[in-house]
Chains A and B, each alone.
Chain A
Amino acid sequence: MEKNFDYEIWERFRKGDEKSFSYIFDTYHLQLFEYGQRFTNDEHLVKDSIQDLFFELARKRQKLSPTNNILFYLLKSIRQKIIVNLKKKGIITREEDHQVSEFRLSYSTEVDQQEKELRLDQLAEAINQLPPRQKEAIYLKFYKKLSNKEVSDIMQINYQSVGNNLQKAISKLKSILNSDTDAVILLLQNFIQ
Protein backbone atom coordinates (compact mmCIF):
# COMPACT_ATOMS: atom_id res chain seq x y z
CA MET A 1 0.00 0.00 0.00
CA GLU A 2 1.33 3.40 -0.95
CA LYS A 3 2.15 5.40 2.17
CA ASN A 4 0.63 8.77 1.42
CA PHE A 5 -0.75 11.57 3.58
CA ASP A 6 -4.02 9.74 4.30
CA TYR A 7 -2.11 6.63 5.30
CA GLU A 8 -0.03 8.48 7.88
CA ILE A 9 -3.00 10.30 9.38
CA TRP A 10 -4.96 7.06 9.62
CA GLU A 11 -2.04 5.29 11.30
CA ARG A 12 -1.73 8.07 13.84
CA PHE A 13 -5.42 7.93 14.56
CA ARG A 14 -5.30 4.14 14.95
CA LYS A 15 -2.46 4.50 17.42
CA GLY A 16 -4.39 6.92 19.58
CA ASP A 17 -3.43 10.38 18.39
CA GLU A 18 -6.33 12.64 19.31
CA LYS A 19 -5.47 15.40 16.84
CA SER A 20 -5.53 13.01 13.94
CA PHE A 21 -8.93 11.80 15.05
CA SER A 22 -10.18 15.39 15.21
CA TYR A 23 -8.70 16.11 11.83
CA ILE A 24 -10.53 13.13 10.33
CA PHE A 25 -13.80 14.16 11.93
CA ASP A 26 -13.50 17.80 10.87
CA THR A 27 -12.46 17.02 7.34
CA TYR A 28 -15.03 14.40 6.50
CA HIS A 29 -18.16 14.61 8.62
CA LEU A 30 -19.98 17.05 6.34
CA GLN A 31 -19.09 15.07 3.24
CA LEU A 32 -20.53 11.97 4.89
CA PHE A 33 -23.63 13.90 5.87
CA GLU A 34 -24.08 15.02 2.29
CA TYR A 35 -23.59 11.51 0.89
CA GLY A 36 -25.86 9.97 3.52
CA GLN A 37 -28.73 12.32 2.74
CA ARG A 38 -28.77 10.97 -0.79
CA PHE A 39 -30.27 7.72 0.51
CA THR A 40 -33.03 9.23 2.60
CA ASN A 41 -34.54 12.59 3.44
CA ASP A 42 -34.52 11.59 7.11
CA GLU A 43 -31.60 13.71 8.22
CA HIS A 44 -31.83 12.46 11.80
CA LEU A 45 -31.26 8.94 10.59
CA VAL A 46 -28.20 10.16 8.70
CA LYS A 47 -26.87 11.99 11.74
CA ASP A 48 -27.43 8.93 13.90
CA SER A 49 -25.53 6.87 11.37
CA ILE A 50 -22.62 9.31 11.45
CA GLN A 51 -22.63 9.06 15.22
CA ASP A 52 -22.71 5.25 15.07
CA LEU A 53 -19.79 5.33 12.67
CA PHE A 54 -17.55 7.66 14.63
CA PHE A 55 -18.33 5.96 17.94
CA GLU A 56 -17.34 2.69 16.40
CA LEU A 57 -14.18 4.10 14.84
CA ALA A 58 -13.24 5.57 18.21
CA ARG A 59 -13.89 2.30 20.03
CA LYS A 60 -12.30 -0.06 17.59
CA ARG A 61 -9.50 2.09 16.28
CA GLN A 62 -6.82 -0.54 16.89
CA LYS A 63 -8.74 -3.20 15.08
CA LEU A 64 -9.34 -1.17 11.95
CA SER A 65 -7.44 -1.97 8.81
CA PRO A 66 -4.96 0.51 7.35
CA THR A 67 -6.02 2.67 4.42
CA ASN A 68 -4.48 5.24 2.14
CA ASN A 69 -7.82 6.68 1.09
CA ILE A 70 -9.76 7.85 4.13
CA LEU A 71 -12.66 9.26 2.13
CA PHE A 72 -13.23 5.91 0.45
CA TYR A 73 -13.02 4.06 3.77
CA LEU A 74 -15.55 6.37 5.39
CA LEU A 75 -17.98 6.45 2.46
CA LYS A 76 -18.04 2.68 2.45
CA SER A 77 -18.62 2.53 6.20
CA ILE A 78 -21.31 5.20 6.36
CA ARG A 79 -23.25 3.53 3.56
CA GLN A 80 -23.35 0.29 5.53
CA LYS A 81 -24.44 2.10 8.68
CA ILE A 82 -27.22 3.88 6.82
CA ILE A 83 -28.48 0.67 5.26
CA VAL A 84 -28.55 -1.01 8.69
CA ASN A 85 -30.52 1.91 10.11
CA LEU A 86 -32.89 2.01 7.14
CA LYS A 87 -33.53 -1.71 7.63
CA LYS A 88 -34.22 -1.20 11.33
CA LYS A 89 -36.86 1.34 10.37
CA GLY A 90 -38.30 -1.06 7.82
CA ILE A 91 -37.56 1.28 4.93
CA ILE A 92 -35.39 -1.34 3.26
CA THR A 93 -36.88 -4.79 3.62
CA ARG A 94 -35.18 -7.06 1.17
CA GLU A 95 -32.77 -8.97 3.37
CA GLU A 96 -29.84 -9.75 1.18
CA ASP A 97 -29.98 -6.67 -0.90
CA HIS A 98 -27.19 -4.19 -0.37
CA GLN A 99 -28.83 -1.89 -2.83
CA VAL A 100 -30.76 1.13 -1.81
CA SER A 101 -34.18 2.01 -3.05
CA GLU A 102 -33.36 5.61 -3.71
CA PHE A 103 -30.43 7.83 -4.54
CA ARG A 104 -31.33 11.47 -4.41
CA LEU A 105 -29.36 13.14 -7.14
CA SER A 106 -31.13 15.44 -9.53
CA TYR A 107 -30.47 18.13 -12.07
CA SER A 108 -32.31 21.29 -12.92
CA THR A 109 -34.36 21.25 -16.09
CA GLU A 110 -34.65 25.03 -16.06
CA VAL A 111 -32.50 26.11 -18.96
CA ASP A 112 -31.60 29.28 -20.79
CA GLN A 113 -31.92 29.78 -24.54
CA GLN A 114 -28.59 28.25 -25.47
CA GLU A 115 -28.95 25.31 -23.10
CA LYS A 116 -32.41 24.73 -24.54
CA GLU A 117 -31.02 24.58 -28.06
CA LEU A 118 -28.54 21.94 -26.96
CA ARG A 119 -31.44 20.18 -25.25
CA LEU A 120 -29.73 20.11 -21.89
CA ASP A 121 -33.15 20.08 -20.22
CA GLN A 122 -33.80 16.70 -21.80
CA LEU A 123 -30.35 15.54 -20.81
CA ALA A 124 -30.93 16.63 -17.21
CA GLU A 125 -34.31 14.93 -17.17
CA ALA A 126 -32.76 11.73 -18.52
CA ILE A 127 -30.20 11.73 -15.71
CA ASN A 128 -33.00 12.34 -13.21
CA GLN A 129 -34.77 9.25 -14.54
CA LEU A 130 -31.78 6.91 -14.16
CA PRO A 131 -32.17 4.08 -11.63
CA PRO A 132 -30.61 4.68 -8.19
CA ARG A 133 -27.77 2.25 -8.82
CA GLN A 134 -26.61 4.09 -11.94
CA LYS A 135 -26.98 7.46 -10.25
CA GLU A 136 -24.86 6.33 -7.33
CA ALA A 137 -22.14 4.99 -9.62
CA ILE A 138 -22.04 8.31 -11.46
CA TYR A 139 -21.98 10.22 -8.18
CA LEU A 140 -19.06 8.24 -6.77
CA LYS A 141 -17.10 8.39 -10.01
CA PHE A 142 -17.78 11.97 -11.02
CA TYR A 143 -17.92 13.82 -7.73
CA LYS A 144 -15.83 11.63 -5.46
CA LYS A 145 -13.29 10.64 -8.11
CA LEU A 146 -13.19 7.01 -7.03
CA SER A 147 -11.91 4.10 -9.13
CA ASN A 148 -14.22 1.38 -10.42
CA LYS A 149 -12.70 -0.99 -7.87
CA GLU A 150 -13.53 1.39 -5.03
CA VAL A 151 -17.04 1.99 -6.34
CA SER A 152 -17.68 -1.74 -6.52
CA ASP A 153 -16.45 -2.07 -2.95
CA ILE A 154 -18.69 0.68 -1.67
CA MET A 155 -21.81 -0.40 -3.53
CA GLN A 156 -21.19 -4.09 -2.83
CA ILE A 157 -21.54 -5.05 -6.44
CA ASN A 158 -18.96 -6.84 -8.51
CA TYR A 159 -16.33 -4.99 -10.45
CA GLN A 160 -17.88 -5.80 -13.80
CA SER A 161 -21.26 -4.34 -12.89
CA VAL A 162 -19.77 -0.95 -12.11
CA GLY A 163 -18.68 -0.72 -15.72
CA ASN A 164 -22.02 -2.08 -16.89
CA ASN A 165 -24.01 0.39 -14.83
CA LEU A 166 -22.00 3.32 -16.11
CA GLN A 167 -22.20 2.02 -19.66
CA LYS A 168 -25.98 1.69 -19.44
CA ALA A 169 -26.39 5.18 -18.04
CA ILE A 170 -24.13 6.76 -20.64
CA SER A 171 -25.82 4.90 -23.53
CA LYS A 172 -29.13 6.33 -22.42
CA LEU A 173 -27.69 9.84 -22.42
CA LYS A 174 -25.93 9.25 -25.72
CA SER A 175 -29.18 8.26 -27.39
CA ILE A 176 -30.62 11.62 -26.42
CA LEU A 177 -27.60 13.51 -27.66
CA ASN A 178 -27.44 11.50 -30.84
CA SER A 179 -31.03 12.22 -31.77
CA ASP A 180 -30.24 15.88 -32.28
CA THR A 181 -28.81 14.90 -35.67
CA ASP A 182 -32.28 13.60 -36.58
CA ALA A 183 -33.79 16.83 -35.36
CA VAL A 184 -31.59 18.82 -37.73
CA ILE A 185 -32.53 16.58 -40.64
CA LEU A 186 -36.21 16.99 -39.81
CA LEU A 187 -35.78 20.73 -39.68
CA LEU A 188 -34.07 20.73 -43.07
CA GLN A 189 -36.81 18.59 -44.54
CA ASN A 190 -39.39 21.05 -43.29
CA PHE A 191 -37.52 23.83 -45.00
CA ILE A 192 -37.40 21.98 -48.28
CA GLN A 193 -41.08 21.24 -48.16
Chain B
Amino acid sequence: MKSTLIDRLFSRKFQEGVSKNSIQDYARLKKEDKENAWATLITYVLKFKRKELENNTVGSGDFSEIKEHSKEIFLNSPSGSSQFKKYSQVAAAASVLLLFTIGGFLIGESNLFTSKVSQSEYIEIKTPKGQQSEISLPDGTFVALNYDTRLHYKIDQNKKLQEVKLEGEAFFKVNKNKKRTFRVKTPDMNINVLGTEFNVNAYKTNKNIETTLIEGSIQIDHILGHKEPVLLKPGQKWQLNKSNRKMNVKEVDTQISTLWRNGEYYFEDITLEDLAKTIERAYNTTIIFEDESLKNERYSGSLYSDETIDELIEAISLTIPINVRKNNDEIWIDKR
Protein backbone atom coordinates (compact mmCIF):
# COMPACT_ATOMS: atom_id res chain seq x y z
CA MET B 1 0.00 0.00 0.00
CA LYS B 2 1.26 3.46 -0.84
CA SER B 3 1.54 5.83 2.07
CA THR B 4 -0.38 9.08 1.88
CA LEU B 5 1.12 12.53 1.78
CA ILE B 6 0.30 13.09 5.45
CA ASP B 7 1.88 9.80 6.53
CA ARG B 8 5.04 10.71 4.69
CA LEU B 9 5.14 14.29 5.92
CA PHE B 10 5.08 13.25 9.55
CA SER B 11 7.32 10.25 9.34
CA ARG B 12 10.72 10.77 10.88
CA LYS B 13 12.37 8.64 8.26
CA PHE B 14 10.91 10.61 5.38
CA GLN B 15 11.81 13.95 6.99
CA GLU B 16 15.40 12.90 7.47
CA GLY B 17 15.59 11.80 3.86
CA VAL B 18 14.75 15.28 2.55
CA SER B 19 17.85 17.38 1.99
CA LYS B 20 18.50 20.73 0.33
CA ASN B 21 19.18 18.83 -2.87
CA SER B 22 15.95 16.88 -2.84
CA ILE B 23 14.01 19.44 -4.86
CA GLN B 24 16.34 19.03 -7.83
CA ASP B 25 14.68 15.69 -8.44
CA TYR B 26 11.19 17.12 -8.37
CA ALA B 27 10.31 16.58 -12.03
CA ARG B 28 11.36 12.93 -11.95
CA LEU B 29 9.77 12.34 -8.53
CA LYS B 30 6.52 13.80 -9.72
CA LYS B 31 6.34 11.49 -12.69
CA GLU B 32 6.88 8.46 -10.46
CA ASP B 33 4.71 9.39 -7.53
CA LYS B 34 2.95 12.71 -7.22
CA GLU B 35 2.16 12.46 -3.51
CA ASN B 36 5.77 11.64 -2.77
CA ALA B 37 6.96 14.66 -4.78
CA TRP B 38 4.55 16.98 -3.00
CA ALA B 39 5.47 15.63 0.39
CA THR B 40 9.09 16.38 -0.51
CA LEU B 41 8.32 20.01 -1.38
CA ILE B 42 6.28 20.63 1.76
CA THR B 43 8.91 18.95 3.93
CA TYR B 44 11.56 21.09 2.24
CA VAL B 45 9.73 24.29 3.14
CA LEU B 46 9.02 23.17 6.72
CA LYS B 47 12.61 22.11 7.17
CA PHE B 48 14.61 24.82 5.44
CA LYS B 49 12.43 27.93 5.09
CA ARG B 50 11.24 28.37 8.67
CA LYS B 51 11.76 31.86 10.05
CA GLU B 52 13.22 32.39 13.49
CA LEU B 53 11.04 34.06 16.09
CA GLU B 54 11.75 37.79 15.99
CA ASN B 55 12.70 38.35 19.59
CA ASN B 56 14.58 35.16 20.20
CA THR B 57 17.28 36.91 22.12
CA VAL B 58 17.02 35.78 25.70
CA GLY B 59 20.02 33.60 26.48
CA SER B 60 19.90 30.50 28.61
CA GLY B 61 21.70 32.33 31.42
CA ASP B 62 18.52 34.20 32.20
CA PHE B 63 16.88 31.07 33.48
CA SER B 64 19.41 30.37 36.22
CA GLU B 65 17.37 32.25 38.80
CA ILE B 66 14.23 30.31 37.96
CA LYS B 67 16.21 27.09 38.18
CA GLU B 68 17.76 27.90 41.56
CA HIS B 69 14.40 28.96 42.95
CA SER B 70 12.66 25.83 41.69
CA LYS B 71 15.41 23.72 43.21
CA GLU B 72 14.91 25.34 46.59
CA ILE B 73 11.21 24.65 46.44
CA PHE B 74 11.96 21.15 45.29
CA LEU B 75 14.31 20.43 48.18
CA ASN B 76 11.93 21.90 50.73
CA SER B 77 8.87 20.19 49.38
CA PRO B 78 7.04 17.98 51.88
CA SER B 79 8.69 14.74 53.05
CA GLY B 80 11.49 15.25 50.62
CA SER B 81 14.27 13.61 52.59
CA SER B 82 12.41 10.74 54.20
CA GLN B 83 10.77 9.88 50.92
CA PHE B 84 14.13 9.86 49.28
CA LYS B 85 15.62 7.48 51.80
CA LYS B 86 12.81 5.10 51.24
CA TYR B 87 13.36 5.44 47.55
CA SER B 88 17.04 4.63 47.73
CA GLN B 89 16.20 1.35 49.45
CA VAL B 90 13.76 0.55 46.71
CA ALA B 91 16.29 1.72 44.18
CA ALA B 92 18.90 -0.70 45.48
CA ALA B 93 16.53 -3.59 45.06
CA ALA B 94 15.47 -2.47 41.64
CA SER B 95 18.87 -1.40 40.41
CA VAL B 96 19.14 -4.28 37.97
CA LEU B 97 16.10 -3.02 36.15
CA LEU B 98 17.29 0.57 36.22
CA LEU B 99 20.72 -0.36 34.96
CA PHE B 100 19.04 -2.07 32.12
CA THR B 101 17.46 1.08 30.80
CA ILE B 102 19.65 3.95 31.81
CA GLY B 103 22.81 2.39 33.07
CA GLY B 104 24.86 4.42 35.48
CA PHE B 105 22.81 7.54 35.16
CA LEU B 106 22.83 9.20 38.57
CA ILE B 107 22.94 5.85 40.31
CA GLY B 108 26.54 5.85 41.37
CA GLU B 109 26.78 8.07 44.42
CA SER B 110 30.45 8.75 43.87
CA ASN B 111 32.20 11.77 45.32
CA LEU B 112 32.19 13.48 41.98
CA PHE B 113 28.45 13.71 42.12
CA THR B 114 28.20 15.24 45.53
CA SER B 115 31.20 17.51 45.38
CA LYS B 116 29.89 20.97 46.26
CA VAL B 117 33.20 22.66 45.57
CA SER B 118 33.22 22.20 41.83
CA GLN B 119 29.48 22.75 41.57
CA SER B 120 29.45 20.66 38.46
CA GLU B 121 27.50 17.59 37.60
CA TYR B 122 28.61 14.46 35.85
CA ILE B 123 26.01 12.66 33.87
CA GLU B 124 26.35 9.35 32.16
CA ILE B 125 23.95 7.89 29.68
CA LYS B 126 24.28 4.32 28.55
CA THR B 127 22.39 2.18 26.09
CA PRO B 128 22.57 -1.57 26.60
CA LYS B 129 23.02 -4.09 23.83
CA GLY B 130 19.92 -4.35 21.69
CA GLN B 131 18.70 -0.84 22.56
CA GLN B 132 19.13 2.59 20.99
CA SER B 133 18.25 5.97 22.40
CA GLU B 134 17.90 9.63 21.41
CA ILE B 135 18.51 12.53 23.78
CA SER B 136 18.93 16.28 23.89
CA LEU B 137 21.86 17.57 25.88
CA PRO B 138 21.39 20.68 28.05
CA ASP B 139 22.87 22.94 25.35
CA GLY B 140 20.41 21.66 22.75
CA THR B 141 22.79 19.26 21.04
CA PHE B 142 20.90 16.27 19.68
CA VAL B 143 22.50 12.87 20.12
CA ALA B 144 21.33 9.49 18.87
CA LEU B 145 23.09 6.60 20.61
CA ASN B 146 23.56 3.23 18.98
CA TYR B 147 23.59 -0.12 20.79
CA ASP B 148 25.97 -0.62 23.70
CA THR B 149 27.15 2.97 23.82
CA ARG B 150 28.17 5.18 26.70
CA LEU B 151 28.09 8.97 26.75
CA HIS B 152 29.54 10.91 29.64
CA TYR B 153 29.41 14.64 30.19
CA LYS B 154 29.81 17.35 32.73
CA ILE B 155 27.85 20.53 33.18
CA ASP B 156 29.83 23.28 34.84
CA GLN B 157 28.67 26.20 36.96
CA ASN B 158 27.72 28.26 33.94
CA LYS B 159 25.82 25.37 32.46
CA LYS B 160 28.17 25.41 29.54
CA LEU B 161 28.71 22.08 27.93
CA GLN B 162 32.23 21.87 26.56
CA GLU B 163 32.87 18.24 25.95
CA VAL B 164 31.39 14.78 26.02
CA LYS B 165 33.15 11.45 26.25
CA LEU B 166 32.00 8.70 23.97
CA GLU B 167 32.50 4.97 23.81
CA GLY B 168 30.53 3.30 21.07
CA GLU B 169 28.62 4.86 18.19
CA ALA B 170 26.59 8.05 18.06
CA PHE B 171 25.19 10.64 15.71
CA PHE B 172 25.55 14.28 16.80
CA LYS B 173 23.74 17.40 15.70
CA VAL B 174 25.43 20.36 17.34
CA ASN B 175 23.95 23.84 17.21
CA LYS B 176 26.14 26.64 15.93
CA ASN B 177 27.71 28.71 18.64
CA LYS B 178 30.69 30.84 17.74
CA LYS B 179 31.62 31.41 21.35
CA ARG B 180 32.63 27.87 22.10
CA THR B 181 34.04 24.72 20.66
CA PHE B 182 32.25 21.52 21.39
CA ARG B 183 34.50 18.49 21.76
CA VAL B 184 33.79 14.78 21.52
CA LYS B 185 36.49 12.75 23.27
CA THR B 186 37.15 9.11 22.54
CA PRO B 187 40.04 6.95 23.77
CA ASP B 188 41.83 7.14 20.42
CA MET B 189 41.06 10.67 19.16
CA ASN B 190 39.17 13.88 19.85
CA ILE B 191 36.78 15.73 17.57
CA ASN B 192 36.50 19.53 17.70
CA VAL B 193 33.25 20.90 16.46
CA LEU B 194 31.54 24.10 15.40
CA GLY B 195 27.83 23.62 14.62
CA THR B 196 27.51 20.49 12.54
CA GLU B 197 26.16 16.99 11.97
CA PHE B 198 28.33 13.92 12.14
CA ASN B 199 28.48 10.26 13.04
CA VAL B 200 31.16 8.71 15.26
CA ASN B 201 31.88 5.01 15.50
CA ALA B 202 34.34 4.43 18.32
CA TYR B 203 33.74 1.09 19.98
CA LYS B 204 36.58 -0.07 22.19
CA THR B 205 36.43 -3.60 20.81
CA ASN B 206 36.39 -2.66 17.11
CA LYS B 207 39.53 -2.71 15.01
CA ASN B 208 38.61 0.50 13.22
CA ILE B 209 37.24 3.78 14.48
CA GLU B 210 35.39 6.07 12.10
CA THR B 211 33.89 9.52 11.80
CA THR B 212 31.63 10.64 8.97
CA LEU B 213 30.86 14.32 8.52
CA ILE B 214 27.41 15.10 7.16
CA GLU B 215 27.25 18.89 7.46
CA GLY B 216 29.50 21.69 8.73
CA SER B 217 33.14 21.16 9.67
CA ILE B 218 35.09 19.25 12.28
CA GLN B 219 38.69 18.81 13.21
CA ILE B 220 40.02 15.54 14.58
CA ASP B 221 43.07 15.66 16.82
CA HIS B 222 44.85 13.67 19.52
CA ILE B 223 44.73 10.78 17.07
CA LEU B 224 46.38 7.60 18.27
CA GLY B 225 49.83 7.48 16.65
CA HIS B 226 49.48 10.81 14.78
CA LYS B 227 50.57 14.32 15.63
CA GLU B 228 48.86 16.26 12.87
CA PRO B 229 45.14 16.98 13.15
CA VAL B 230 42.79 16.11 10.30
CA LEU B 231 40.16 18.50 8.92
CA LEU B 232 37.07 16.84 7.45
CA LYS B 233 34.81 18.17 4.72
CA PRO B 234 31.11 17.27 4.44
CA GLY B 235 30.66 13.90 2.77
CA GLN B 236 33.99 12.57 3.96
CA LYS B 237 34.65 9.58 6.18
CA TRP B 238 37.80 9.35 8.27
CA GLN B 239 38.94 5.93 9.40
CA LEU B 240 41.75 4.73 11.68
CA ASN B 241 42.96 1.19 12.02
CA LYS B 242 43.87 0.96 15.69
CA SER B 243 46.33 -1.89 15.31
CA ASN B 244 48.55 -0.59 12.50
CA ARG B 245 47.56 3.06 13.07
CA LYS B 246 46.98 3.67 9.39
CA MET B 247 44.33 6.22 8.62
CA ASN B 248 42.50 7.34 5.52
CA VAL B 249 39.85 9.81 4.40
CA LYS B 250 37.42 9.07 1.61
CA GLU B 251 34.23 10.39 0.02
CA VAL B 252 31.19 8.35 1.04
CA ASP B 253 27.42 8.30 0.90
CA THR B 254 26.79 9.85 4.31
CA GLN B 255 23.29 8.41 4.56
CA ILE B 256 24.78 4.95 5.00
CA SER B 257 26.69 6.00 8.09
CA THR B 258 23.48 6.84 9.95
CA LEU B 259 21.25 4.04 8.66
CA TRP B 260 21.57 2.41 12.07
CA ARG B 261 19.18 5.05 13.41
CA ASN B 262 16.42 3.37 11.40
CA GLY B 263 17.56 -0.05 12.57
CA GLU B 264 19.45 -0.78 9.36
CA TYR B 265 23.06 -1.48 8.55
CA TYR B 266 24.79 -1.63 5.25
CA PHE B 267 28.12 -3.40 5.18
CA GLU B 268 30.60 -3.19 2.39
CA ASP B 269 33.35 -5.76 2.51
CA ILE B 270 33.79 -5.98 6.27
CA THR B 271 35.43 -8.85 8.12
CA LEU B 272 33.26 -11.49 9.71
CA GLU B 273 34.88 -10.56 13.01
CA ASP B 274 33.62 -6.96 12.85
CA LEU B 275 30.24 -8.11 11.59
CA ALA B 276 29.98 -10.47 14.57
CA LYS B 277 30.59 -7.56 16.94
CA THR B 278 27.80 -5.56 15.36
CA ILE B 279 25.44 -8.53 15.63
CA GLU B 280 26.39 -9.05 19.26
CA ARG B 281 25.45 -5.45 20.03
CA ALA B 282 22.25 -5.46 18.04
CA TYR B 283 20.92 -8.77 19.29
CA ASN B 284 22.56 -8.87 22.73
CA THR B 285 24.21 -12.19 22.09
CA THR B 286 27.70 -13.69 22.07
CA ILE B 287 29.33 -15.10 18.97
CA ILE B 288 32.14 -17.62 19.22
CA PHE B 289 34.32 -18.62 16.30
CA GLU B 290 35.31 -22.28 16.46
CA ASP B 291 37.66 -21.76 13.56
CA GLU B 292 39.80 -18.62 13.85
CA SER B 293 40.36 -18.37 10.10
CA LEU B 294 36.67 -17.53 9.65
CA LYS B 295 37.22 -14.15 11.34
CA ASN B 296 38.95 -12.82 8.23
CA GLU B 297 36.24 -13.86 5.79
CA ARG B 298 34.63 -10.85 4.12
CA TYR B 299 30.96 -9.96 3.92
CA SER B 300 28.82 -7.38 2.13
CA GLY B 301 25.12 -6.96 2.76
CA SER B 302 22.42 -5.39 4.89
CA LEU B 303 21.08 -5.98 8.36
CA TYR B 304 17.63 -4.90 9.50
CA SER B 305 16.68 -4.87 13.15
CA ASP B 306 13.27 -6.41 12.44
CA GLU B 307 15.06 -9.42 11.01
CA THR B 308 15.44 -12.36 13.39
CA ILE B 309 18.94 -13.52 14.09
CA ASP B 310 18.19 -16.81 12.34
CA GLU B 311 17.20 -15.00 9.16
CA LEU B 312 20.36 -12.98 9.34
CA ILE B 313 22.63 -15.98 9.80
CA GLU B 314 20.91 -17.70 6.94
CA ALA B 315 21.72 -14.71 4.74
CA ILE B 316 25.34 -14.77 5.80
CA SER B 317 25.70 -18.51 5.19
CA LEU B 318 24.60 -17.98 1.60
CA THR B 319 27.91 -16.34 0.77
CA ILE B 320 30.19 -17.70 3.48
CA PRO B 321 30.30 -21.46 4.14
CA ILE B 322 29.46 -21.66 7.83
CA ASN B 323 27.75 -24.05 10.21
CA VAL B 324 25.92 -22.51 13.13
CA ARG B 325 24.72 -23.94 16.40
CA LYS B 326 22.99 -22.07 19.18
CA ASN B 327 23.55 -22.65 22.85
CA ASN B 328 21.44 -20.40 25.09
CA ASP B 329 22.65 -16.89 24.34
CA GLU B 330 25.74 -18.03 22.52
CA ILE B 331 26.15 -18.61 18.84
CA TRP B 332 28.91 -20.95 17.75
CA ILE B 333 30.17 -20.58 14.20
CA ASP B 334 32.27 -23.19 12.43
CA LYS B 335 33.42 -23.95 8.90
CA ARG B 336 31.01 -25.97 6.87
CB within 8 Å of B: which residues of A?
3-5, 8-9, 12, 15-23, 25-27, 29-31, 33-34, 37-38, 41, 43, 47, 50-51, 54-55, 57-62, 104-108, 114-115, 118, 120, 123-124, 127, 138, 141-143, 145, 166-167, 170, 173-174, 177
Q: Which of A9, A12, A143 is the most central at the interface, judged by chain B CB atoms within 10 Å of its CB?
A: A12
Residues in chain A near residue B44, CB distance under 8 A: 120
* Cβ of B111 under 8 Å from chain A: no
21 contacts between A and B (CB under 8 A): A5-B102, A8-B105, A12-B87, A12-B106, A15-B87, A16-B84, A19-B113, A21-B70, A22-B121, A25-B63, A26-B67, A27-B136, A27-B138, A33-B58, A57-B70, A62-B78, A62-B83, A107-B49, A123-B42, A167-B6, A170-B42
**A55 near B70: Cβ-Cβ < 8 Å:** yes
Further pairs besides A23-B106, A58-B70: 5, Cβ < 8 Å:
A37-B56, A51-B70, A107-B49, A123-B45, A142-B15
* Cβ of B283 under 8 Å from chain A: no
* Cβ of B2 under 8 Å from chain A: no
Q: Are A58 and B80 also in contact (CB < 8 A) when A23-B123, A107-B45, A114-B24 are?
A: no
- Give 9 closest A-B pairs by Cβ, nearest first: A26-B138, A58-B74, A58-B73, A15-B87, A16-B84, A54-B70, A107-B49, A58-B70, A51-B66
**A5 near B133: Cβ-Cβ < 8 Å:** yes
Closest residue of chain B to A23 (Cβ to Cβ) is B123
- B56 shortest CB reach to chain A, Å: 7
Grouping DSSP codes into helix (H, G, I), strand (E, B) and loop, the B interface class, with mixed when no group exceeds half, is helix
**B49 near A120: Cβ-Cβ < 8 Å:** yes
Residues in chain A near residue B63, CB distance under 8 A: 25, 29-30, 33, 47, 50
- B87 shortest CB reach to chain A, Å: 4
Q: Are A54 and B66 also in contact (CB < 8 A) when A47-B58, A104-B53, A177-B38 are?
A: yes
The docked-state distance in angstroms from the alpha carbon of A50 to that of B58 is: 14
Kindly identify which residue among B69, B84, B121, B138 contacts A51, using a CB–CB cutoff of 8 Å.
B69
The docked-state distance in angstroms from the alpha carbon of A114 to that of B22 is: 12
**B81 near A145: Cβ-Cβ < 8 Å:** no
Kindly identify which residue among B23, B45, B123 contacts A127, using a CB–CB cutoff of 8 Å.
B45
Q: How many residues of B contact A (CB 8 A)?
A: 60
**A18 near B6: Cβ-Cβ < 8 Å:** no
Residues in chain A near residue B136, CB distance under 8 A: 27, 31
Closest residue of chain B to A106 (Cβ to Cβ) is B51
Residues in chain A near residue B80, CB distance under 8 A: 16
* Cβ of B288 under 8 Å from chain A: no
* Cβ of B225 under 8 Å from chain A: no
Q: Mark B39-79 against chain A: 1 for CB-CB distance below 8 A, else 0.
A: 00110111001110111101010110011011101110111
Closest residue of chain B to A50 (Cβ to Cβ) is B66
- A126 shortest CB reach to chain B, Å: 9
The docked-state distance in angstroms from the alpha carbon of A9 to that of B106 is: 9
**B71 near A21: Cβ-Cβ < 8 Å:** yes
**A41 near B55: Cβ-Cβ < 8 Å:** yes
CB within 8 Å of A: which residues of B?
5-6, 9-10, 12, 15, 23-24, 26, 38, 41-42, 44-46, 49-51, 53-56, 58, 60, 62-63, 66-67, 69-71, 73-75, 77-81, 83-84, 87, 97-98, 101-102, 105-106, 113, 121, 123, 125, 133, 135-138, 140, 155, 159
- B195 shortest CB reach to chain A, Å: 16
The docked-state distance in angstroms from the alpha carbon of A27 to that of B138 is: 5
Closest residue of chain B to A26 (Cβ to Cβ) is B138
Closest residue of chain B to A140 (Cβ to Cβ) is B10
The docked-state distance in angstroms from the alpha carbon of A118 to that of B41 is: 8
Residues in chain B near residue A9, CB distance under 8 A: 102, 105
Kindly identify which residue among B26, B49, B67, B140 contacts A124, using a CB–CB cutoff of 8 Å.
B49
The docked-state distance in angstroms from the alpha carbon of A25 to that of B101 is: 21
Closest residue of chain A to B86 (Cβ to Cβ) is A15
**A142 near B66: Cβ-Cβ < 8 Å:** no
Closest residue of chain B to A147 (Cβ to Cβ) is B10
**B41 near A120: Cβ-Cβ < 8 Å:** yes
Residues in chain A near residue B73, CB distance under 8 A: 55, 58-59
Kindly identify which residue among B5, B38, B106, B125 contacts A19, using a CB–CB cutoff of 8 Å.
B106
**B23 near A173: Cβ-Cβ < 8 Å:** no
- B317 shortest CB reach to chain A, Å: 35
Residues in chain B near residue A55, CB distance under 8 A: 69-70, 73
Q: Are A174 and B38 also in contact (CB < 8 A) when A15-B87, A120-B44 are?
A: yes
The docked-state distance in angstroms from the alpha carbon of A53 to that of B125 is: 26
**B102 near A170: Cβ-Cβ < 8 Å:** no
Residues in chain B near residue A167, CB distance under 8 A: 6
Kindly identify which residue among B24, B49, B113 contacts A108, using a CB–CB cutoff of 8 Å.
B49
- B164 shortest CB reach to chain A, Å: 14
**A61 near B74: Cβ-Cβ < 8 Å:** yes
